[in-house]
């Protein structure tokens, strides 16, 4: 993947339900008040704040913007920072992530309209759960490898989270002590609600999501 350019701000894409709350504290320790947040406020119905990343960034005070980017909901990278040059993110098995997101939304009781009739199958097979919505540009079967290698400094996976954070730290010249991550914001799930055939159907429905995930996962396995 590409080398980190300390002269440019960093965009950290927090894909929902990929341990983003757990690793956020690590980034805060790295960037201090230079860590800016990009989250939709579901309570107020407010879109994320937009920052002048280039104007705020310097080698003495590096800037990173961290949060949920989702082009399907109008606050994707291209909507806010179309000129961004370098990214970091962490992925997770797409099915496990989709199921976790479903149970999280049900538990929170917010944005209930995003859960179709409370049905797990309809939710995970729908377009909203795709990781393609978080990427900084249009992703296809033909270009996903090029996008990962040319735009991302590092892409981690939750299944190798400690190693992922160590690799990210090394690339952006930060210190990380393995074993220091706390497991935060975990969501319990009712396994009886997950049909035995649902993952197979999901994988057939989300082939590009799995191509991206497997490509990254292979770098760790």
Cα 4–214–194 angle (5° rounding)?
125
Tell me the pLDDT of the chain averaged across its residues: 90
- For 97-115, what is each residue's pLDDT tens digit? 999 888 888 776 655 555 6
The answer to which of 42-51, 63-72, 168-177, 189-198 has the lowest mean pLDDT is: 189-198
Give tens-digit pLDDT for 153-208: 999 999 999 999 999 999 999 999 988 776 655 666 666 678 889 999 999 999 99
pLDDT given at position 180: 79
pTM exceeds 0.85, yes or no: yes
Q: Which of 33-37, 85-89, 130-134, 193-197 has the lowest mean pLDDT?
A: 193-197
- pLDDT at residue number 184: 59
């Amino acid at each position: 993947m590409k080398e980190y350019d300390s002269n440019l701000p960093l965009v950290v894409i927090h894909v929902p339900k990929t341990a983003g709350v757990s690793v956020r504290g690590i980034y805060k320790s790295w960037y201090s008040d230079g860590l800016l947040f990009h989250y939709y406020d579901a309570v107020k119905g407010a879109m994320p704040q937009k920052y002048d990343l280039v104007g705020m960034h310097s080698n003495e005070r590096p800037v990173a913007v961290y949060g949920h980017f989702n082009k399907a909901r109008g606050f994707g990278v291209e909507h806010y920072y179309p000129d961004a040059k370098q990214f970091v993110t962490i992925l997770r098995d797409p099915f496990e992530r989709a199921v976790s997101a479903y149970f999280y939304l049900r538990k929170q009781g917010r944005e209930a309209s995003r859960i179709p009739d409370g049905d797990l199958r309809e939710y995970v097979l729908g377009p909203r759960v795709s990781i393609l919505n978080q990427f900084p540009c249009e992703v296809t079967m033909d270009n996903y490898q090029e996008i990962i290698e040319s735009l991302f400094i590092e892409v981690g996976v939750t299944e190798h989270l400690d190693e992922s954070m160590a690799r990210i730290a090394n690339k952006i010249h930060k210190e990380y002590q393995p074993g220091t991550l706390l497991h935060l914001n975990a969501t319990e799930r009712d396994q009886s609600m997950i049909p035995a055939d649902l993952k197979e159907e999901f994988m057939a429905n989300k082939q590009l999501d799995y191509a991206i995930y497997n490509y990254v996962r292979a770098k760790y396995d």
